[in-house]
Amino acid sequence: MLMPLERILHAQGFGARKACRIMVWQNEVTVNGEPCDDPYAEFETAGLKFSVRGENWEYRQPSYLMLHKPANYECSHKTQHHPTIYSLLPHPLVERGVQCIGRLDEDTTGLILLSDDGQFIHRMSSPKWKVPKVYEVTTKHPVDQKLIRALMEGVQLIDEPAPIAALACTQVSEKILQMTLAEGKYHQVKRMIAAVSNRVEALKRIRIGDLALPDDLEAGKWRWLSEEDMLRLGWKA
Q: How many whole angstroms separate alpha carbon 208 and alpha carbon 177? A: 17
* Mean pLDDT, the chain, whole residue set: 95
Examine the domain organization and report whether 108 and 220 are in the same domain: yes
Q: In CATH, what number is assigned to the domain containing residue 37? A: 3.10.290.10
Q: Specify whether 105 is catalytic.
A: yes
CATH number at residue 163: 3.30.70.1560
Same domain, 119 and 215: yes
Q: Does 72 lie in the same domain as 184?
A: no
pLDDT confidence of residue 237: 64
On whether both 30 and 142 belong to a single domain, the answer is: no
pLDDT at 228: 96
Same domain as 216, residue 204: no
In terms of domains, do 39 and 78 share one? no
Q: Do residues 148 and 197 both lie within one domain? A: yes
Which pLDDT band, with edges at 50, 70 and 90, does 18 fall under? very high
Question: Does 237 reside within a domain?
Answer: no
Closest CA to 165 of 138, 142, 196: 196
* Residue type, position 127, single letter: P
The answer to whether residue 30 sits within a structural domain is yes
CA distance 87 to 58: 21
Does the residue 163 lie in any domain?
yes
- What pLDDT digit, counting tens, does each position of 182-237 carry? 887 889 999 999 999 999 999 999 999 999 999 999 999 999 999 999 999 998 86
Whether residues 109 and 225 share a domain: the answer is: yes
* Buried b or exposed e, range 141-171, using 16+ CB within 10 angstroms: eebeeebbebbeeebebeeeeeebbbeebee
Catalytic residue among 105, 144, 159, 215: 105
CB-CB contact of 164 with 221 (8 Å): no
Number of domains in the chain: 3
CB 45 within 8 A of CB 1: yes
| pLDDT tens digits, 101-123 | 989 999 999 999 999 999 999 99
Between CA 18 and CA 69 the distance in angstroms is: 34
Q: What is the pLDDT of residue 133?
A: 96
Question: Domain containing 40: what range?
Answer: 2-58
Looking at the fold, whether 40 and 99 belong to one and the same domain comes out as no
Instruction: State what percent of residues in the chain have pLDDT above 90.
Output: 88
pLDDT at res. 44: 97
| Euclidean distance between CA atoms 111 and 134, whole angstroms | 10
User: Over the stretch 138-195, which tens digit does the pLDDT of each residue have?
Assistant: 999 999 999 999 999 999 998 888 899 999 999 999 999 999 998 878 899 999 999 9
